[in-house]
Amino acid sequence: MSSIASRARVLAGFRQLNRARIQLFRGDDHAMKESRKQLRDQIEANRSVPTSGPFFEELIKGLDEATHMITHEIVRGDLNQKTGRFDVKIQREHVKGSDDLSGTIKPEIEPITEDTVRRMENPGSVEVCKNSSLNDK
């Protein structure tokens, strides 16, 4: 693979990860600044890696995995000043099966119930305060 094509893959991975980072941390200046610094530092640290071979492919795979993790596996909550609780808005991307465009996998998410909280490894002070599910089970 040419060096130009490899560079394009790195830049595409960087742009995707940067967009995911911006979407996740929008409104949190500290997280925006720190995540930008971390991303930049990682790219700079690997600048001298040869643009072909298994190590390069692992780095590209790492960019893709990081983008997927930020986009699909992290849910951000904002502190509600009135209630003192965190409001979390689960997006379609966070639901298992939501990236299946064929429609063969029905998106599903486990409802957060008192039982879910009891099964958590370290629940802290999780309180189930609102059920927005249309079909209570």
DSSP code for 54: H
Q: What is the structure's pLDDT at 124?
A: 63
| Pairing mode, strands 86-88 and 77-79 | antiparallel
Read off the amino acid at residue 59: L
* Backbone phi, psi, residue 73, to 5°: -120, -5
Q: If pLDDT is split at 50, 70 and 90, which confidence band does 129 have?
A: low
More confident call, 128 vs 44: 44
Average pLDDT of the chain is: 78
Closest CA to 87 of 99, 95, 79: 79
More confident call, 35 vs 132: 35
Please name the residue that has the structure tokens 């941390």: 25
Cα gap 62→56, rounded to integer Å = 10
Closest CA to 114 of 103, 126, 124, 105: 126
* Tokens of residue 114, six digits: 């008192």
Q: What is the rounded average pLDDT of the residues 36-56?
A: 90
